[in-house]
Amino acid sequence: MKTSALRSLRKKLSHSEPVFGLWITLESTAVTEMAVALGLDWIVIDAEHGHLDWKEIAEHVRATVRSNTVALVRVAELNRGLIKRSLDIGADGVVIPWIETAEQLAQAIAFSRYPPEGLRGIGAERATCWGQCTLEHTAEANDHVLVVPIIETVSAASQVPLMCREDGVELFWFGPADFSSSAGFRGEWEGPGIAEQILKLKDIIRKEGLHCGVIATNSDNLRERLSQGFYAIGIGIDTGLLMQSLKGSLALLGRNPTIRASLTPDAQTHSEAALLTRPPETLRPDRPERMNDRGNGVTIEIAPDVHFECLVGSHNSARHLTTGIVTIAPGALLGYHSHTFSESITLLSGSLAAEIEGRSYTLAALDNVVILAGRAHAVRNLSPTQSAIVHVAMASDAPNRTLIENSFQKIEMPNDSSGLCGSERVTRFISATRSSAGPNTEFIDCFNRELMPGIEMSGGYGFFQPGGRLPAHVHDFDESICIISGTATCVVEGRKYSMSDYSTALQPRGRVHYFINESNRPMEMLWVYAGPTPERIIVNECCATVEGNPWR
């Protein structure tokens, strides 16, 4: 037992400092050695699911010796023998699945402690240095052993307040997938209403001065969990992180495969051609790329206290596409109007309600609403003090609008509504499906022909960790890319541009380009294609260099 590591972890938690860890399911102890070398606060060796045997579990525990990384074992069930064996081979604590009552938790704590406080037997194994340190170990073990129950059923929810009163519990873990399954949403990570239930239970636990943990599903979710008050966060499962990296590398080669439960590859999920040595001659571009900083665009007042700055449009030779930033003053309204083309609205900051023929959607940051041509819509800044900043995209290089005087009966739409089929689509940033488009990237498809039949454009959101990048590629249509946070490097046929603060690139049809995050901070973008399907043609990297420029 590494008492110094346990003290360090508890000290961080007591100061509301997050502790990060990794879920271990693979046999190789190199995974644990990496976690230790990277300074992670803890690991959980999973003996509930998967195929790890006791020899492999012991080897993972050994890999944390003389480190400040706490080693926990998730046992298969609440079982005295499994808990005793885990602690005897030197684990610093145990994670107990499917705890539903305070009585079960009390039993788990008793199984983890030596008499007279508990029921743990004394063994001459690693924990006691094979019997040579029995007095030393048994004197300190009860005070230091970490017992972590997992709350993963609806039945456990009502028992949480009682569990918090048990002496010997400091940290609770949540299992959203099993919680969802127990509520009837099998196969979903957080089914309808589950996220809200978990947050309520988290608040109960935090009010008692105790702590909560959960595994983050991706980088955005990690930041979200931190903001929600989870202070023990798993950055991932070893196999999941490996799969994410593999898919990112395959995406660089123009492949984005999925797999089925039969462990067979599924069809390509994106319409991408195989890697080409150069773009087809039919895509030879006739215009240069344009980099457009916010503040240098064409600005117009489209309604009282509502200003639109056009960053990509006819003024810089864009075709079938107009994008820019709209600033809506506190309380201001852009009244009902319609277009002869589709429009995308993404809230960047502030508070906003979007109404489509009376259906009102309250948007959170980075939520997207896309409205098909001919549908009457309006937006209102809900804040009396703060401006709302919005990214808009229109499937036209000659935008127009028709004011609508008809009144619509207002209907408040639920936060989980995805819109009205054939009229509007709403993508909620928090719950949107993510995929990888390159190493260390996460992408969200907000709108395209498959998601919304009848739309003339496609687009979404991209997140780049430091070092994240896309492969060199071209499109058969114009593209707008707006950098909404961080700093991006845009490479176009060897020409490099640094972009930030809503700077927006116009990539004309046929220009070879890619984006990379060369900074030490994350970067986010909004991308819009002047085409209804998110097609990209991956080309050899040399095509994005001065020497290999295919259009010289």
Task: Tell me what pLDDT residue 263 has.
Answer: 72
When mean pLDDT is compared across 75-79, 282-286, 404-408, 515-519, the lowest value belongs to 404-408
Residue 267 pLDDT exceeds 70: no
Task: Tell me what pLDDT residue 54 has.
Answer: 96
**Domain boundaries in the chain?**
3-245, 290-544
Closest by alpha carbon to 459, among 532, 356, 522, 537?
Answer: 532
- The mean pLDDT value of the chain amounts to 93
Residue 247 pLDDT exceeds 80: no
Average pLDDT over residues 352-370: 96
What predicted TM-score, i.e. pTM, was given to this entire model?
Answer: 0.61
Characterise 62 by phi-psi region: left (phi > 0), alpha (psi -120 to 50), beta (else).
Answer: alpha
**pLDDT 10s digits, 314-324:** 999 999 999 99
Task: Tell me what pLDDT residue 275 has.
Answer: 77
DSSP string, 480-525: EEEEEESEEEEEETTEEEEEETT-EEEE-TT--EEEE--SSS-EEE
Helix segments in 158-283, DSSP class H: 160-163, 176-182, 194-207, 219-228, 238-252
The confidence band for 246, taking pLDDT boundaries of 50, 70 and 90, is confident
> CATH topology of 3-245 equal to that of 290-544?
no
DSSP string, 13-49: HHTT--EEEEEE-SS-THHHHHHHHTT-SEEEEE-SS
Pick one of 3.10.129.10, 2.60.120.10, 1.10.3720.10, 1.10.3470.10 as the CATH number of 290-544: 2.60.120.10
- Six-digit token string for 512: 């070879």
Residue 448 pLDDT exceeds 50: yes
Distance between CA atoms of residues 422 and 541, nearest Å:
40
Task: Tell me what pLDDT residue 188 has.
Answer: 83
Helix segments in 373-495, DSSP class H: none
CB contact burial 300-335 (16+ within 10 A = b; e otherwise):
eeebeebbbbbbbbeebebebbbbbbbbbbeebbbb
Q: How far is CA 58 from the centre of its chain?
A: 33
When mean pLDDT is compared across 39-43, 146-150, 156-160, 254-258, the lowest value belongs to 254-258
Is the bond into 280 cis (omega within 30 degrees of 0)? no
* CATH 3.40.140.10 matches 3-245: no
Task: Tell me what pLDDT residue 266 has.
Answer: 53
In the three-class reduction of DSSP (H, G, I as helix; E, B as strand; rest coil), residue 444 is classed as: strand
**pLDDT 10s digits, 208-234:** 999 999 999 888 789 899 999 999 999
The confidence band for 407, taking pLDDT boundaries of 50, 70 and 90, is confident
Task: Tell me what pLDDT residue 462 has.
Answer: 96
Average pLDDT over residues 153-176: 96
Paired residues of 78 in beta bridges = none
The confidence band for 525, taking pLDDT boundaries of 50, 70 and 90, is very high
Characterise 454 by phi-psi region: left (phi > 0), alpha (psi -120 to 50), beta (else).
Answer: left
Judge whether 327 and 344 are in contact, CB under 8 Å: no
Contacts of 6 (CB under 8 A, 6+ apart): 70, 92, 93, 144, 146
Task: Tell me what pLDDT residue 406 has.
Answer: 79
Judge whether 444 and 429 are in contact, CB under 8 Å: yes
The interaxial angle of helices 80-88 and 102-111, nearest 10 deg, is 40
CB-based burial of residue 535 (10 Å sphere; 0-12 exposed, 13-18 middle, 19+ buried)?
A: middle
The one-letter code for the residue type at 298 is V
**pLDDT 10s digits, 477-508:** 999 999 999 999 999 999 999 999 999 999 99
**pLDDT 10s digits, 108-134:** 999 999 999 999 999 999 999 999 999
The confidence band for 155, taking pLDDT boundaries of 50, 70 and 90, is very high
**pLDDT 10s digits, 462-478:** 999 999 999 999 999 99
